[in-house]
A and B are shown apart, each in its own frame.
Chain A
């Protein structure tokens, strides 16, 4: 039962991947194309003569593979280009846009066959307008014959049913039915591609008009880059749901910083105790080793039950997220001290306290900083997730609230902000590490 269900899921997944495959191949081809272009450009420039460029073996030489800045720049530009192209961004010239939805006027004809076998054609004028300009259906003269001409107006990306027999002399009740669209034979359940898009005959015999949607994303799925940017500016100025963006962000950061600091204040001494005493090691090893693999997100329900959705609950959660990481980092920092350093300090007359202060702590700082970087990253991820579940304020709360109103632009803006801040935190930690523990990896 489970196996077959999971198998079905897997098959669906495979199907989805298969559908995405052409796009992925296209993207890879794009990468290779740019690589080729850059190679040609580079040939035209004066060649560099540094040591790496003189190496003949670069494939497999890890030290020769450094990130190519040009590739990084093009990559980022391409992301925005693709984003703009598939959202019809106003920032891009029109020829770079992916084909958009059909907008404007067109028509198709349908053929009715009455119960007695008489046939007649009628024309349908179709007007498709974009969401900013509602247009009423054009007035049409009914025309000759038993089937009268119709008109229909609808918004791009939408479909609309056309009751073609509303004005005709024969109706479906009389047994009349549509036998062809644009001259192509069709029956109930069938459909025909016309100049304006798909026209289908429903099971009940009415017409369903689906104008061509093109390859662009609708704003509700993916807004254009400039829309996200404008949204950022307005939200920064006016806030969202009466809470300013700065407030959302500072609440999230406050939780992360407080939770992380508490975790470090408890976790580091705990790690030291575990690294320095077999009793503490034995006591806390089972607890730490059990809690470490439990993802902090799994604790959210319990924390909400115990501490509610206020600040306390969030801080407890982040404290727990940071605690084990910091404890393990401090423990391995202590265990990593070379015994010869400790021996040397003892034979230089240092006491236990002096050895802790002057040897063990400085020796463990690089490990602790690595742990702190990981812990800050985990805390940032956890706080956003916790806010998604339940919060009054916070960047995660903002995007989940926006998602409920399908304000995709706010959601995307929030995601980008979360990414930028997470990256910023990591840069900050690396910078602090360089300044504070310059001896990292030099022992």
Chain B
């Protein structure tokens, strides 16, 4: 069985002082190879926890993750990760950062060079190979992070708000890049975001999660990711369904936030 299965994941942990937190409750989901899933939700809905469980950084208290027929026990090169920022190795230049995964596997230098050169070409950084990563802009750094993840040829790519720290213009360019890479590489991608628009643009499937306990609130299947490949994303945003879905989801999240704020002792 290929694909990624998230089976009845629950996550509950104790706080100092005896109380316990139910971060996730009975989350189940299957992703076919090549699917692009975006996850939305108010803060505290457990979306980052879910991603960390899939990545293997956290063990769920119940349930399991199954990838291509075997259970996930810890982090592995088959599941690549792209972080918001600051996960590049600043003691390595761009080329060394992208070649990190192949180097760790002990790949021959010539083969590695070929992969790195190709990926840097794809993300548009072929003239920046020898630059230190801290000399690059935020958008360029995230391009390096994407290339570094792809260099390892993972089955699943997990993205934790990869574009969250970028300015609006750069963000739009990077969204197009993510769609392009998705289409060209055919990877399974899970993308966590705070931006409803980004979730709509990049999510072939879209998951809205609800907090306390973290759970799946609603799932959408959307046409916008397919529409947006190789196109101007601003055209996609003019699609009548786009605005309607956006308003619907915004309302949904707004209600959840209201509910949290209304609860005694919650919020701040």
Q: Chain A residues in contact with chain B, CB under 8 A?
A: 338, 340-341, 343-351, 354, 358-359, 362-363, 365, 437-439, 442-443
When the two chains form the complex, which single residue of B55, B77, B90, B100 contacts A358, counting CB atoms closer than 8 Å? B100
Most buried by B among A338, A343, A347, A438: A347
Residue total for B at the interface (Cβ-Cβ under 8 A): 29
When the two chains form the complex, which single residue of A338, A348, A350, A362 contacts B91, counting CB atoms closer than 8 Å? A362
Which chain B residues in 173-195 approach chain A with CB under 8 Å?
none
Task: Find out whether the CB atom of A340 lies under 8 angstroms from the CB atom of B83.
Answer: yes
* Closest Cβ neighbor of B82 among chain A residues: A344
Q: Given the interface contacts A358-B100, A439-B132, A442-B134, does A347 sit within 8 Å of B89 by beta carbon?
A: no
With both chains docked as a complex, state the minimum distance between the C-beta of A345 and any C-beta of chain B, in angstroms.
7
Instruction: Please give, as numbers and ranges, the residues of chain A lying within 8 Å of B75 by CB-CB distance.
Output: 343, 346-347
Q: Given the interface contacts A343-B75, A438-B132, A442-B134, does A349 sit within 8 Å of B89 by beta carbon?
A: no
With both chains docked as a complex, state the minimum distance between the C-beta of B93 and any C-beta of chain A, in angstroms.
10
Instruction: Please give, as numbers and ranges, the residues of chain A lying within 8 Å of B101 by CB-CB distance.
Output: 348-349
When the two chains form the complex, which single residue of B79, B89, B104, B149 contacts A351, counting CB atoms closer than 8 Å? B104
4 nearest A-B residue pairs (beta carbon): A349-B77, A442-B134, A346-B75, A362-B91
Q: Given the interface contacts A354-B104, A358-B100, does A348 sit within 8 Å of B90 by beta carbon?
A: no
CA distance A442 to B88 in the complex (A): 11
Task: Find out whether the CB atom of B76 lies under 8 angstroms from the CB atom of A349.
Answer: yes
CA distance A181 to B232 in the complex (A): 109
With both chains docked as a complex, state the minimum distance between the C-beta of A368 and any C-beta of chain B, in angstroms.
13
Task: Find out whether the CB atom of B79 lies under 8 angstroms from the CB atom of A347.
Answer: yes
Instruction: Please give, as numbers and ranges, the residues of chain A lying within 8 Å of B228 by CB-CB distance.
Output: none
Give 14 CB contacts A-B under 8 Å.
A343-B83, A347-B55, A347-B76, A347-B77, A347-B79, A347-B81, A349-B104, A351-B104, A354-B104, A362-B89, A437-B91, A438-B132, A439-B91, A443-B90
Task: Find out whether the CB atom of A344 lies under 8 angstroms from the CB atom of B81.
Answer: yes
With both chains docked as a complex, state the minimum distance between the C-beta of A165 and any C-beta of chain B, in angstroms.
89
Is the C-beta of B57 less than 8 angstroms from some C-beta in chain A? yes
With both chains docked as a complex, state the minimum distance between the C-beta of A346 and any C-beta of chain B, in angstroms.
4
With both chains docked as a complex, state the minimum distance between the C-beta of B216 and any C-beta of chain A, in angstroms.
24
Instruction: Please give, as numbers and ranges, the residues of chain B lying within 8 Å of A439 by CB-CB distance.
Output: 90-91, 132, 134
- Secondary structure call for the A interface: helix
What 1/0 flags go to B118-146 for Cβ under 8 Å of A? 00000000000000101000000000000
Instruction: Please give, as numbers and ranges, the residues of chain B lying within 8 Å of A345 by CB-CB distance.
Output: 89, 100, 104
With both chains docked as a complex, state the minimum distance between the C-beta of B265 and any C-beta of chain A, in angstroms.
29
Most buried by A among B76, B88, B100, B149: B100
Which chain B residues in 41-70 approach chain A with CB under 8 Å?
55-57
Instruction: Please give, as numbers and ranges, the residues of chain B lying within 8 Å of A351 by CB-CB distance.
Output: 104
With both chains docked as a complex, state the minimum distance between the C-beta of B115 and any C-beta of chain A, in angstroms.
13
Task: Find out whether the CB atom of B76 lies under 8 angstroms from the CB atom of A443.
Answer: no
With both chains docked as a complex, state the minimum distance between the C-beta of A363 and any C-beta of chain B, in angstroms.
7
Task: Find out whether the CB atom of B132 lies under 8 angstroms from the CB atom of A359.
Answer: no
Instruction: Please give, as numbers and ranges, the residues of chain A lying within 8 Å of B88 by CB-CB distance.
Output: 341, 344
Is the C-beta of B243 less than 8 angstroms from some C-beta in chain A? no
Task: Find out whether the CB atom of A348 lies under 8 angstroms from the CB atom of B152.
Answer: yes
CA distance A341 to B75 in the complex (A): 13
Task: Find out whether the CB atom of B90 lies under 8 angstroms from the CB atom of A442.
Answer: yes
* Beyond A343-B87, A358-B104, A442-B90, 16 additional pairs, beta carbon < 8 A: A338-B87, A340-B87, A341-B87, A343-B55, A343-B57, A343-B83, A346-B75, A347-B55, A347-B56, A347-B76, A347-B79, A348-B77, A351-B104, A362-B91, A363-B91, A439-B132
* Closest Cβ neighbor of A442 among chain B residues: B134
Q: Given the interface contacts A347-B55, A347-B79, does A341 sit within 8 Å of B104 by beta carbon?
A: no
CA distance A439 to B95 in the complex (A): 16
Task: Find out whether the CB atom of A359 lies under 8 angstroms from the CB atom of B83.
Answer: no
With both chains docked as a complex, state the minimum distance between the C-beta of A196 and any C-beta of chain B, in angstroms.
74
* Closest Cβ neighbor of A443 among chain B residues: B90
What 1/0 flags go to B78-106 for Cβ under 8 Å of A? 01110110111111000000001100110
CA distance A344 to B151 in the complex (A): 13
CA distance A347 to B52 in the complex (A): 11
Is the C-beta of B205 less than 8 angstroms from some C-beta in chain A? no
Task: Find out whether the CB atom of B104 lies under 8 angstroms from the CB atom of A350.
Answer: yes
Is the C-beta of B148 less than 8 angstroms from some C-beta in chain A? yes
CA distance A346 to B76 in the complex (A): 7
Task: Find out whether the CB atom of A348 lies under 8 angstroms from the CB atom of B132.
Answer: no
With both chains docked as a complex, state the minimum distance between the C-beta of B128 and any C-beta of chain A, in angstroms.
16
With both chains docked as a complex, state the minimum distance between the C-beta of B135 and any C-beta of chain A, in angstroms.
9
Instruction: Please give, as numbers and ranges, the residues of chain A lying within 8 Å of B81 by CB-CB distance.
Output: 343-344, 347
Instruction: Please give, as numbers and ranges, the residues of chain A lying within 8 Å of B87 by CB-CB distance.
Output: 338, 340-341, 343-344
When the two chains form the complex, which single residue of A347, A350, A358, A437 contacts B80, counting CB atoms closer than 8 Å? A347
Instruction: Please give, as numbers and ranges, the residues of chain B lying within 8 Å of A354 by CB-CB distance.
Output: 104
Instruction: Please give, as numbers and ranges, the residues of chain A lying within 8 Å of B90 by CB-CB distance.
Output: 439, 442-443
* Closest Cβ neighbor of B152 among chain A residues: A348
Instruction: Please give, as numbers and ranges, the residues of chain A lying within 8 Å of B148 by CB-CB distance.
Output: 344, 348
CA distance A346 to B149 in the complex (A): 12
Task: Find out whether the CB atom of A359 lies under 8 angstroms from the CB atom of B80.
Answer: no
What 1/0 flags go to B202-245 for Cβ under 8 Å of A? 00000000000000000000000000000000000000000000
CA distance A220 to B158 in the complex (A): 76
Instruction: Please give, as numbers and ranges, the residues of chain A lying within 8 Å of B100 by CB-CB distance.
Output: 345, 348, 350, 358
Instruction: Please give, as numbers and ranges, the residues of chain A lying within 8 Å of B104 by CB-CB distance.
Output: 345, 348-351, 354, 358
